[in-house]
Structure 1
């Protein structure tokens, strides 16, 4: 008796029951276990929620359903009509079942793919003999796929205490969780939007439930822990437990992120290097306000508040020089936010914000002498001297460079162009195309650099901006926002006025499509296309300065004044 109780205490399968309850369930199940080996976890979860005097009937019903599944005999047509692809718990397989189901394959740690027949009262997993009876692997796969995609589900979004949003798909069918195999199609069916190219994190704690979070913005940092906790709790609660692990769905592949220490029974999340880089990039982009995200959508363009914060940050730089990068981001936000109320950038206060943003961006990458920064309404703040100490931040360099081009500040353009590319290559969040693009700009503004060299570098940037070459930033963001200046420069370099005009209009449409009605500062003006429009205008291209998100008085240079420093 002591041995049985001790076993129950340490038996993870029955941990939802007390030792005495676990012993009783094993006793009730023992007569049914003589003709086969069955897992008891799901039955134990049902018993936990049922009065103990009803357990004998519940156990009888459970094993009667298992027996009713039979051992086969359906015709080929009957199998194809009812077969579904199915995810099963890896630890539910015994040596005996593995021998009868050698066709199955492990999808990821903890999950096994199999075929199952959806029968009136139960579900039967196909054996090797069943698969052989169909005698057509493609037909079996197609039927399992088609039937699985017909499984009904309910959908809702779960907003958590932080800013992460989990997508929940659930239903009565035991095949709901198996739809995670085709998470991209499921997401589109549920939301009418495409899953990001980077995929999603997800859990399938029970066969009736999927919870997932698309890899679209920096809220993924919170979603990882939220999903892992949610998945583990739902797995322990059941019924129909499937897996307690966290997974990454990417291009149809599933990768397990959860490591379980079998000795200590502790869980840890260990993303592969590829995913870890993507996650860091998403957080970096989101923190700088570059992504359309819940955080960006909650942003306000309160000019008075942004101005006050910017003034305080600049004033604090004499005490904390390390705050220059944060102050630069704040000034970029302020400059762009001004364009919400002053879309033509006609007002002096708007110009002051753009000029001050350039002063800080230039100081961040090339150093600066002491100078004065204006923030409008006779508000000035001293900017202390800074040594040249460029950070490894490729996108911040582009912001500073675009500002210098827009403000027609050739001195700062030349100094920024001399920032070593090797420093910017150390930015772990920058894809290769971005570094080639920076190299293209630096080459173009280098005196006496052959135009063929510039064209070659541009070609490298274009080639590296497609598909799998982009492995860090969200491809949707790259296509709609970051690549547009590259495409414009291609038309500019070719001196093709007509195609430049069309490409500029398309770039601004992409900007509007990506940002929608977001109040985020970066939604108010298209910084990269504005820089290329300013450059083209200076080369006598016929630039349409009336386009949206293209501040007229900056594009045509009428607002430009001398900037200190």
Structure 2
């Protein structure tokens, strides 16, 4: 996993662009879709290729946005795409054609794989009536209970959750499971001006979701609980989480850290597979407040009186400390 995404090998930016995936040229888009069709054919499945999905004769639809982003971001260029696409399609078909974990796993095995998964709301919006347990955690983001199947994630509609227990108890179990996950990679980024923040990365689909157990993660990595002022956090995509604890006194460079994390979040969100958010948030006592908004142009700070008061208080505390 890379902290900042490298520049992928691509056709020139002035080449005509693909209408569905603007990061592809027309030629790259055509090559990508041809490889997707061929990968399904290798599994004996003829599919109709649409702009952003494929469909088979059984009426099943498979989205391609994440796979397109993975190919686009592969720094080895499109010579590597056939292998990446074949592996992806193979995993996908193993999941959809195989037996359901709900039929083959014992209840305790299912509970051991239970996690809270933070996703964009459009992931469940088509079937929102089946996910009444979903919890909004920030504008456009929600938490849904799901099973970690290693190569994939299985979201659990209400009717399947009812087979395992009550939602409150299941969420407690899911959060405990999330907090017990190993940290795959941890890096501290530091700028020349002394701004620092932590970055956690991993192949797990639940890496960004660890913001739902932020205090436990911070304690594991730093040896200290987050203070009453919480932390700045960013979750560009599902495999990455950045955070910066906010102190109570002498917390210098907080604005600089916010600016640095804003650049980080935007750069790692763009064209990523499994996008979560390009924004920076204020985590405090389990709640997320959006601090930075990207609205098609330059990022800007949202108006938040509490955070502004906190900044003034920290500046006043620092001034008093050094007077």
What TM-score do the two structures reach when normalised by structure 1?
0.45
Query: Which sections of structure 2, spanning at least 5 residues, go unmatched?
Result: 1-14, 38-47
Distance across 2 between alignment mates of 1:279 and 1:39: 43
* 2:147 paired residue among 92, 112, 117: 117
Q: Tell me, what secondary structure is at the counterpart of 2:160?
A: helix
Distance across 1 between alignment mates of 2:113 and 2:122: 25
Structure whose residues are more often strand by fraction? 2
Report the Cα offset of residue 174 of structure 1: 1.9
Taking a change above 3 Å as real, the CA distance of residues 276 and 207 of structure 1, as seen in their structure-2 partners, is: same
Which residue of structure 2 lines up, in the alignment, with residue 20 of structure 1? 27
Taking a change above 3 Å as real, the CA distance of residues 120 and 155 of structure 1, as seen in their structure-2 partners, is: closer
1:221 and 2:255 are equivalent in the alignment? yes
1:245 and 2:279 are equivalent in the alignment? yes
1:281 and 2:313 are equivalent in the alignment? yes
Q: How does 1:476-491 map to 2 (within 5 A)?
A: none
1:498-547 Cα deviation digits (max 9, x unpaired): xxxxxxxxxxxxxxxxxxxxxxxxxxxxxxxxxxxxxxxxxxxxxxxxxx
Structure whose residues are more often helix by fraction? 1
Query: Which sections of structure 1, spanning at least 5 residues, go unmatched?
Result: 291-328, 333-565
Distance across 1 between alignment mates of 2:64 and 2:269: 14
* 2:131 paired residue among 86, 89, 101: 101
Distance across 1 between alignment mates of 2:123 and 2:171: 23
Which residue of structure 2 lines up, in the alignment, with residue 136 of structure 1? 166
- Asked if the contact 1:68/1:122 (under 8 Å) is kept, the reply is no
Which residue of structure 1 lines up, in the alignment, with residue 68 of structure 2? 44
Which residue of structure 1 lines up, in the alignment, with residue 224 of structure 2? 193
Taking a change above 3 Å as real, the CA distance of residues 289 and 26 of structure 1, as seen in their structure-2 partners, is: farther
Distance across 2 between alignment mates of 1:187 and 1:41: 32
CA RMSD in angstroms comes to 2.8
Which residue of structure 1 lines up, in the alignment, with residue 115 of structure 2? 84
Q: Tell me, what secondary structure is at the counterpart of 2:270?
A: helix
- Name which structure has the greater RCO, CA cutoff 8 Å, separation 6+: 2
Larger radius of gyration: 1
Q: Tell me, what secondary structure is at the counterpart of 1:279?
A: helix
- Asked if the contact 2:232/2:282 (under 8 Å) is kept, the reply is yes
Report the Cα offset of residue 63 of structure 1: 3.4
Which residue of structure 2 lines up, in the alignment, with residue 384 of structure 1? none
* 1:33 paired residue among 40, 47, 54: 54
Q: How does 1:65-464 map to 2 (within 5 A)?
A: 65-70=91-96, 73-74=102-103, 75-95=106-126, 97-153=127-183, 154-216=185-247, 217-236=251-270, 238-261=272-295, 264=296, 266-286=298-318, 288=319, 290=321, 332=323
Which residue of structure 2 lines up, in the alignment, with residue 486 of structure 1? none
1:331-366 Cα deviation digits (max 9, x unpaired): x4xxxxxxxxxxxxxxxxxxxxxxxxxxxxxxxxxx
Taking a change above 3 Å as real, the CA distance of residues 116 and 73 of structure 1, as seen in their structure-2 partners, is: same
Distance across 2 between alignment mates of 1:249 and 1:284: 22
Q: How does 1:476-555 map to 2 (within 5 A)?
A: none
Report the Cα offset of residue 7 of structure 1: 8.1
Distance across 1 between alignment mates of 2:129 and 2:88: 24
- Asked if the contact 2:115/2:178 (under 8 Å) is kept, the reply is yes
How many residues were matched structurally? 281
